[in-house]
Amino acid sequence: MGTILLVCTGNICRSPMAYGFLSQLLRERGVSSIRLESAGTHSWDDSPATPEAVRALQERGIDISDHLAQRLNRSLIEEADLVLGMAGDHRDAATRIVPSAAERTFTLKEFVQLLEPGDDRPEAAPAADPEHRLRAAVEYAAATRADPARRGFTDEDVADPLGLGIEAFRAAAWELGELCQRMANAVFGPAGARSEPQPAAAPQTQTQTQNRTVGARGKGRSSRMNDYAASWQALRATDPEVAGAIAAELHRERSTLRLIASENYASPAVLAALASTMNNKYAEGYPGRRYYGGCEFVDVTETLAIDRAKQVFGAEHANVQPHAGAQANLAVYGAFLTPNDPAQKVLGLALPHGGHLTHGSPVNVSGKWFSFVAYEVDPETELIDMDRVRDLALQERPKMILAGFTAYPRVIDFKGFRDIADEVGAILMVDAAHFIGLVAGGAYPSPVPYADVVTFTTHKTLRGPRGAMILSREEHAKAIDKAVFPMMQGGPLEHCIAAKAVCLKEAMEPEFREYAERTVRTARALAAGLQEEGLRPVSGGTDSHLALIDLRPFDDELTGADVEAVCDEVGIALNKNAIPFDPRPPLRPSGIRVGTPGPSTLGMDEPEMKEVARIMGDVLRRPRDRAVKDRARQAVADLMNRFPAYPG
């Protein structure tokens, strides 16, 4: 009889759940000669499993309601052939009690990773008894762990869900279920392998055969999948309504001047990666450490994205999995901050002064869960006053300082923020979502040498797919990766990650540097042109891809909502935006935000931006004049014909 001992802290959540999963998996494999035990390093004997643990496993068809806890002791460890802690602390506690058990004591996640298929792992004979297979697996894992040539694991723990609610227990149950499944397969072999012949498939109709694009086998199929599966013709035939909306959006992008600072034109290569069959792949985990098989090719593209991000930005670590900027920011908060702890403060730029919703707005989860203190721009210069930021930091003693913007047109003093963070012992985070493409092209200072962590989106100035990334110093890599998965997200969007790899390759080309420099140049030209028309650029201009425009000197009654609407009528897309110390409400603010990444991608330069400023000035002076708007609409159409989006 072989014995596996599962260990956690209280023996009331993680180890009982693992016990439940392994019990079921052993039954499925007909294994009766392996005994399971579980214990806690700090448990009270006879304590029941938590209600959340019981519920999480009941939802998966497993009953642990009769579980009673026991305290970890020498006898349990000495009798076990394999000791599996749920975290490194549990493994270490077991080896402190019985040092001689070290070679058969692991964390569950460590043990599973050590057993991953390798060229040097001998296959156990199919007829070998379960006890023999268990001992062989333990010997192999111990030898592999002792090999200095093997890479160490940075993530060995199953996160403790205790006190975090049912969703945390469900996440822990999912992770434990996956790990136990992989362990059972590796040690005892898969369950339920079928040997009987399968029934023949029902005959296919001609229509079914024509529409079948994936999984076709044998003779008689009407089409063949080669290297690429997406098909515009198939979409148009299958769903003409969706195809029509997509075609209309392409026409809109070809005919509308895009001045929204957070938008751009992804290349056809990026769009092709997005439409690839990598959309179909589940790949929880990270390259080389997945919870699913069949990840060899998504590992290639994700590794390329990671390596290219580190190369382009000079970063020590990169996580390319965040689905969006909001998730990236929340993952960073989760890595360094404790929710609802008022002592752990974060300094961030106020939303009306150019910050973002995820920088502590009370309507956003960042403001609901974490304690943000806002700094503002100077009322006179409309620039960030670093002396005031320092004074506020010394007063509040924040755990984190956040630099970055969504509507601040000037260069940020990253070194100044670093000095302040060092003075108060704070983590420095930079949200570079808007300007990261300019950094890649050398047209804006890089925050990477100064920040502990940098988050950014990939679809703005970087011209990639909708998504985000996190760069960090190596010392924070483990915390960041665990915060992205499994804390914030499940399966990564591997088709998006492939597209991120493509856009990073494009960012390495000389043309990208020209684009980045042109983006800043055109933003300055547009701001200057609008100033000549009577509008006021906030802070007097811009150093980046965007300009924030105060409408009040032009017309005190005009709102950003009015300008957004009338510009939309003539084919110019921009957005209303609050300005610092704005007396108006957010939906009818005193300003607009304009940006030039889109026009710059199309090749427009300073003369075209001067032309755009004149068009806008004419329309804003006479917003109800049909003839003026007709001329403006035609001028925009001519401009877009000269600089076409997605020509052909």
Task: Judge whether 34 and 131 are in contact, CB under 8 Å.
Answer: yes
382-408 average pLDDT score: 96
Task: Judge whether 568 and 551 are in contact, CB under 8 Å.
Answer: no
Task: Judge whether 364 and 357 are in contact, CB under 8 Å.
Answer: yes
Q: Each residue of 266-300: pLDDT tens digit?
A: 999 999 999 999 999 999 999 999 999 999 999 99
Among 19-33, 119-133, 265-279, 606-620, where is mean pLDDT lowest? 119-133
pLDDT value of position 224: 42
Exposure string of 358-393, with b = 16+ CB inside 10 Å and e = fewer, is: bbbbeebebbebbbbbbbbbeeeebbbbbeebbebb
Phi then psi dihedrals of residue 457, to 5 deg: -90, 160
289-312 average pLDDT score: 96
Q: Each residue of 466-496: pLDDT tens digit?
A: 999 999 999 999 999 999 999 999 999 999 9
Q: Each residue of 544-578: pLDDT tens digit?
A: 999 999 999 999 999 999 999 999 999 999 999 99
Q: Of residues 119 and 157, which shows the higher confidence score?
A: 157
**Whole-angstrom distance between the N-terminal and C-terminal Cα of the chain?**
72
Q: Of residues 610 and 221, which shows the higher confidence score?
A: 610
Alpha helices in 256-385 (DSSP H): 268-274, 296-313, 325-336, 365-369
pLDDT value of position 123: 53
For helices 296-313 and 494-507, what crossing angle results, to 10°?
Answer: 40
Q: Is the pLDDT of residue 144 over 70?
A: yes
pLDDT value of position 212: 30
Q: Is the pLDDT of residue 206 over 70?
A: no
Q: Of residues 204 and 50, which shows the higher confidence score?
A: 50
- Residues classed as catalytic: 282, 284, 431, 457, 460, 466
Task: Label residue 188 by pLDDT band (50, 70, 90).
Answer: confident
pLDDT value of position 152: 55
- Distance in angstroms (rounded) separating the CA atoms of residues 43 and 135: 28
Q: Is the pLDDT of residue 337 over 90?
A: yes
In order of their start, the domains of the chain are 2-188 (3.40.50.2300), 277-508 (3.40.640.10), 512-642 (3.90.1150.10)
pLDDT value of position 175: 86
Task: Label residue 143 by pLDDT band (50, 70, 90).
Answer: confident
pTM for this one?
0.67
Q: Each residue of 422-432: pLDDT tens digit?
A: 999 999 999 99
Nearest Cα to Cα of residue 18 among 59, 53, 66? 53
Nearest Cα to Cα of residue 645 among 606, 611, 612, 598? 598
Q: Is the pLDDT of residue 528 over 90?
A: yes
Among 151-160, 262-271, 469-478, 528-537, where is mean pLDDT lowest? 151-160
Among 41-50, 196-205, 482-491, where is mean pLDDT lowest? 196-205
Task: Label residue 198 by pLDDT band (50, 70, 90).
Answer: very low
Q: Is the pLDDT of residue 216 over 70?
A: no
Tell me how long the chain is.
648
Task: Label residue 320 by pLDDT band (50, 70, 90).
Answer: very high
Task: Label residue 203 by pLDDT band (50, 70, 90).
Answer: very low
Q: Is the pLDDT of residue 637 over 80?
A: yes
**Residue 74 Cα to chain centre, angstroms:** 44
How do beta strands 453-457 and 427-431 pair?
parallel
Long-range Cβ pairs for the range 177-182 (8 Å, 24+): 177/21, 177/60, 178/284, 178/291, 179/18, 179/108, 179/109, 179/112, 179/291, 180/18, 180/21, 180/22, 180/25, 180/108, 181/21, 181/25, 182/112, 182/115, 182/291
Percent share of the chain, pLDDT over 70: 91
pLDDT value of position 209: 28
Helix/strand/coil for 400: strand
Task: Label residue 113 by pLDDT band (50, 70, 90).
Answer: confident
Q: What is the mean pLDDT of the chain?
A: 89
Q: Is the pLDDT of residue 207 over 90?
A: no
